[in-house]
């Protein structure tokens, strides 16, 4: 038995070394790709990195192949061409944050269902209507009714828990917790239905012309829709808020 164990050890060592080589090779490859992307953006836009402070991409997640997208001109006269093998979504918009110039778009005003991207509106409305983000909010049994049966994503909180408002925000945006959205909605407006009215008013204030919300969680509903252009408007607005960002 001892001999067998000794014979296996070199194989284990070789396997570990192989894994390390793969990891380093992967990070090296990513580094090369990142440098190439930075080079392209420096050449085209005079900007060091294509970071969130300069560019934003909003798209739906349909996953189908698409036809070539024609270049979209922007105010500076620059253009971006996307080949079909690099674009999988039916609906796309690429916006430069610093001047809101649209660089690339495809069917950006076509109706889509936002699903969990709804929670961006839920979060920004909650942030703007909660004076104290350290406030404790009790999650009641009624807040969980219907969420499990509908297949809503959950953050893992339980009925009866008292949770800080800021933690519910994290729970809504990071693990996409539906119970967090309901907890925030009930605390602010007394019910999800009343909270949705505030969401729709915010959408109107932001000139999101083709958006309508029916819930705070993003659960599928025929009357719960938006466009990638409107989502771009929403994200541009939300990123100006330090707490959201």
pLDDT value at position 83?
A: 54
Please list the active-site residues. Answer: 116, 119, 176
- 242 alpha-carbon distance from chain centroid: 17
pLDDT value at position 89?
A: 85
Strand, coil or helix: 113:
coil
Please check whether residue 86 is in contact with residue 40, taking contact to mean a CB–CB distance below 8 angstroms: no
pLDDT digits (tens, 9 = 90+) for 140-190: 999 999 898 899 999 999 999 999 999 999 999 999 999 999 999 999 999
Q: How many CB atoms lie within 10 A of CB 216?
A: 30
Distance, CA of 226 to CA of 229 (rounded, Å)? 8
Please check whether residue 150 is in contact with residue 118, taking contact to mean a CB–CB distance below 8 angstroms: no
**57 φ, ψ (degrees, to nearest 5):** -115, 130
By residue count, the chain amounts to 245
- 151 alpha-carbon distance from chain centroid: 19
- In tens digits, the chain (245 residues) has pLDDT values of 444 444 444 454 444 444 443 344 444 444 433 444 344 444 444 444 344 334 444 444 333 333 333 334 444 455 556 654 577 888 998 888 888 888 888 889 999 999 999 999 999 999 999 999 999 999 999 999 989 889 999 999 999 999 999 999 999 999 999 999 999 999 999 999 999 999 999 999 999 999 999 999 999 999 999 999 999 999 999 999 999 99
In this prediction the pTM is 0.68
How is domain 115-238 classified at the CATH fold level?
Answer: Beta-lactamase (3.40.710)
pLDDT value at position 22?
A: 39
Q: Which of 189, 185, 182 is nearest to 152 (CA)?
A: 182
Q: Which of 107, 105, 113, 103 is nearest to 90 (CA)?
A: 107
């Amino acid at each position: 038995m001892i001999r067998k164990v000794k014979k296996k050890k070199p194989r284990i060592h070789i396997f570990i070394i192989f894994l390390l080589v793969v990891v380093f090779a992967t990070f090296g490859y990513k580094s090369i790709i990142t440098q190439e992307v930075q080079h392209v953006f420096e050449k085209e836009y005079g900007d060091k990195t294509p970071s969130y402070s300069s560019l934003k991409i909003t798209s739906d997640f349909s996953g189908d192949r698409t036809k070539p997208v024609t270049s979209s001109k922007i105010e500076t006269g620059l253009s971006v061409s996307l080949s079909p093998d690099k674009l999988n979504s039916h609906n796309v918009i690429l916006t430069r944050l610093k001047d809101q110039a649209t660089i690339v778009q495809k069917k950006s005003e076509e109706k889509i269902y936002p699903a969990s991207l709804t929670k961006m509106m839920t979060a920004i409305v909650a942030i703007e209507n909660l004076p104290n983000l350290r406030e404790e909010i009790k999650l009641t049994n009624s807040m969980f009714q219907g969420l499990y049966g509908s297949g809503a994503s959950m953050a893992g909180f339980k009925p009866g828990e008292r949770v800080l408002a800021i933690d519910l925000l994290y729970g809504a945006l990071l693990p996409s917790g539906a119970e967090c959205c309901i907890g925030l909605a009930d605390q602010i407006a007394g019910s999800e239905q009343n909270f949705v009215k505030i969401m729709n008013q915010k959408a109107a204030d932001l000139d999101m012309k083709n958006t309508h919300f029916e819930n705070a969680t993003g659960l599928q509903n025929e009357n719960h829709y938006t466009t990638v252009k409107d989502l771009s408007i929403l994200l541009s607005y939300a990123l100006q808020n330090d707490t959201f960002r």
